[in-house]
Amino acid sequence: MTPNSPTGAPSFTDLLGIEDLDENLFRGHCHAGAPLRAFGGQVAAQALTSAGRTVEPARRVHSLHGYFLRPGDPRRPIVYQVDRARDGNSYATRRVTALQRGEAIFTMSASFKRPESAGDRQRTMPPVPGPEELPDPYLAWQRDAPEEYELSAIFRALRMRFVPAGAPGLPPELPGVPQQFVWLRTDAGLPADDPLLQVCALTYLSDLTLASTTALHLQPHRVHRVAESRVALASLDHAMWFHRPFRADEWLLFAQRSPSASDGRGLAMGEFYDRDGVLVASAVQETLLRELRPGVPGAPKSP
Q: Who has greater pLDDT, 10 or 16?
A: 16
Instruction: Return the minimum-mean-pLDDT range out of 1-5, 103-107, 215-219, 224-228.
Output: 1-5
Q: How confident is the model at residue 4 (pLDDT cuts 50, 70, 90)?
A: very low
Clarify whether 235 is annotated catalytic. yes
Which residue among the candidates 235, 256, 258, 282 is catalytic per the annotation? 235
Residue range 189-232, pLDDT digits in tens: 999 899 999 999 999 999 999 999 999 998 877 776 667 788 99
If we measure between CA atoms, which residue out of 184, 174, 201, 163 comes closest to residue 253? 184
Which residue among the candidates 42, 81, 207, 274 is catalytic per the annotation? 207
> 167, exposed or middle or buried, with CB in 10 Å at 0-12, 13-18, 19+?
middle
- CA distances in angstroms from 52 to 2, 69, 82, 95, 252, listed in the order given: 23, 22, 10, 11, 23
Residue range 65-100, pLDDT digits in tens: 999 999 999 999 999 999 999 999 999 999 999 999
Clarify whether 285 is annotated catalytic. yes
Axis-axis angle for helices 40-52, 195-206 (nearest 10):
160
14: helix, coil or strand? helix
Clarify whether 207 is annotated catalytic. yes
If we measure between CA atoms, which residue out of 282, 139, 299 comes closest to residue 224? 139
Residue range 22-61, pLDDT digits in tens: 999 999 999 888 778 899 999 999 999 999 999 999 999 9
